[in-house]
Copies of this chain bind each other. A is one copy, B any other.
Amino acid sequence: MRIAIDAMGGDFAPGEIVAGALQGREVLDGGDEIVLVGDEVVLRQTLVSLKASPDTFRIFHAPDIIGMNESPIEAIRHKPKSSIAVMAHAASHRQVDAVLSAGNTGACVGACQLRMRTLPGVSRPGIAVVLPTYGGPVTICDVGANIACKPLHLYQYAIMASVYAREMFGILSPRVGMMNIGEEEAKGTDLIKKTRDLLKNDPNINFIGNLEGRDLFEGKCDVVICEGFVGNVILKLSEGMANMIFNAIRVELMTRNKLLGLWFKSIAKNIFKKYDYHEYGGALLLGVNGTSLICHGSSKARTIKNAIRACKKFYDKKINDQIVSAISKSAVTNNGA
């Protein structure tokens, strides 16, 4: 696998990204290659500052950067020499097999959709994120690529995320739930009701029905499908809420005993390790013709290393081939709905 890493994207780029690339070599095989994308001079210097040879990696020179808050559409249009654009271009020309970025998510998704195109039969790519829960990893798709979903899109997310959960986590027949405002069949929008009909009629999907927000953490399902808007809120809300609760506990302990508060930090660290989605490296853009992983903007070296590992697994397991096969066997096709 040849993987291109956007070394200029993310809150801690390029230092932490390059450090992650260096660590990432541990999880790769002899035939694999990491390519950095970004300003060549800056990246060679960064490598030296990290006590590595400036020639450790091949570099695709990209003098421009898309900022975290830039409008994705504008940025893709006006910055063809940005690291994200150059990275996606390399993937579309088969110079690399996988791409990885912790930069502007919208720009990254947009560039990958535009350049790499979708897999045969896939209508719309979706971002799949893995939330660690008590009941095991739960894959949520979509968390923000597609905020104007049609039933076919959600239906295909169920197929793609099922393949993903099966191959990545060894779940033989992933239980798929659809996020809704209640479990009852009569509840939900038109989109939900139409998608449910598609899912119920497909024997290849282990569809367990509607879910409510609270079900996400109770081991009821392995895959959750939802519109990108809802998935995005779920993802970011979970993050904010976890932070608030841990803070609340620390403050509560501090008021009782300062030592207890400090001691709790180590407890919290341990829990975060188990329930930290950074552990999974990032979010896969399912449905594009290639391997594209989007990392959190706050990614540090460890996350990048885990992301490289995730890309490698996704690529080696030929998950895209299996998605194409599953989509081709599905009851509803791009033309049919």
A interface residues, Cβ below 8 angstroms from B: 69, 71, 73, 106, 133-134, 144, 147-148, 179, 181-184, 186-189, 212-218, 226, 228-230, 232-249, 252-253, 256, 267-268, 270-271, 274-275
Contact = CB atoms under 8 A, between A and B. Distances in A.
A106 B238 contact: no
Given A134-B244, A181-B233, A241-B241, 10 more contacts: A69-B183, A147-B181, A213-B233, A213-B236, A226-B233, A229-B230, A237-B237, A242-B245, A248-B271, A249-B267
Given A245-B245, A267-B249, A213 B189 contact: no
Contacts of A184: 69, 71
Given A228-B181, A249-B271, A275-B248, A217 B240 contact: yes
A196 to B, nearest CB: 15
Contacts of A147: 181, 188-189
Given A181-B228, A186-B73, A189-B148, A237 B216 contact: yes
Q: Which are the 5 A-B pairs with shortest beta-carbon distances?
A: A213-B236, A214-B240, A213-B237, A217-B244, A181-B232
B235 A233 contact: no
Contact of A232 (B213, B242, B267): B213
Given A148-B189, A241-B242, A236 B249 contact: no
A238 B236 contact: no
A284 to B, nearest CB: 18
Contacts of A247: 134
Contacts of A275: 245, 248
Contacts of A214: 236-237, 239-240, 243
A267 B241 contact: no
Given A237-B234, A270-B252, A271-B252, A71 B186 contact: yes
Contacts of A253: 267
Contacts of A246: 245
A133 B243 CA distance: 11
Contacts of A240: 213-218
